């Protein structure tokens, strides 16, 4: 079993607690259905992404999308009529599946579209104004001793009511 020591990262970073578990599952996890359904992840621009899954034979009633704890889950469940069919050859894999995608913070699913056997899930990274870089002003305070000295020499203006 391969393991990555992220101790140096944790010494200087806050809030990356999930990163170790995410890397371990990516490196050591064994997903038996890793090849089904086939999918692509596309970068549309700096803040927009699309995940496209090949779900031939499924309609929108048989597909379920959900997001929980920054994990997008796409599930496909074929109806009972599929189980009753008899095939001489079944080359189209219409089996039940679940595919999960880990989403970074601030990545939200905006919508999904099913067209020509392809399910496209659109995502956007939305960083709030509070999370964007900002300058912090450094206040320059005058010590009480300096204030007393300036008050005696008349350097401090006083409001007269």
Please state the rounded mean pLDDT for residues 44-69: 93
pLDDT of residue 77: 92
User: CA 31 → CA 26, 100, 121, distances in Å?
Assistant: 10, 11, 22
- Hunting for tokens 């007393």 — which residue is that? 148
Residue of 121, 119, 79 whose CA lies nearest to 96: 79
Per DSSP, what are the bridge partners of residue 74?
65, 99
Domains of the chain: 1-30 (no CATH), 33-131 (2.60.40.790)
pLDDT of residue 32: 47
For 63-80, write each residue's pLDDT tens digit: 999 999 889 999 999 877
User: What's the CA gap between 125 and 131, in Å, rounded?
Assistant: 12
Whether residue 109 has pLDDT greater than 60 = yes
What pTM was estimated for this model as a whole? 0.64
Please state the rounded mean pLDDT for residues 23-36: 65
């Amino acid at each position: 079993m391969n393991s990555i020591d992220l101790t140096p990262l944790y010494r200087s970073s806050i809030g990356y607690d999930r990163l170790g578990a995410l890397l371990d599952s990516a490196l050591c996890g064994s997903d038996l259905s890793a090849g089904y359904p086939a999918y692509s992840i596309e970068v549309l621009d700096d803040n927009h992404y699309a995940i496209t899954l090949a779900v031939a034979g499924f309609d929108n009633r048989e597909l379920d999308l959900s997001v929980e704890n920054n994990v997008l889950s796409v599930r496909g469940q074929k109806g009972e009529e599929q189980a009753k069919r008899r095939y001489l050859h079944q080359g189209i894999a219409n089996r039940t599946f679940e595919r999960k995608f880990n989403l970074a913070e601030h990545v939200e699913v905006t919508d999904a579209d099913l067209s020509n056997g392809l399910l496209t899930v659109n995502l956007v990274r939305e960083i709030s104004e509070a999370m964007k870089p900002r300058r912090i002003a450094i206040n320059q305070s005058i010590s009480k001793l300096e204030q007393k000295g300036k008050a005696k020499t008349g350097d401090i203006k006083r409001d007269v009511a």
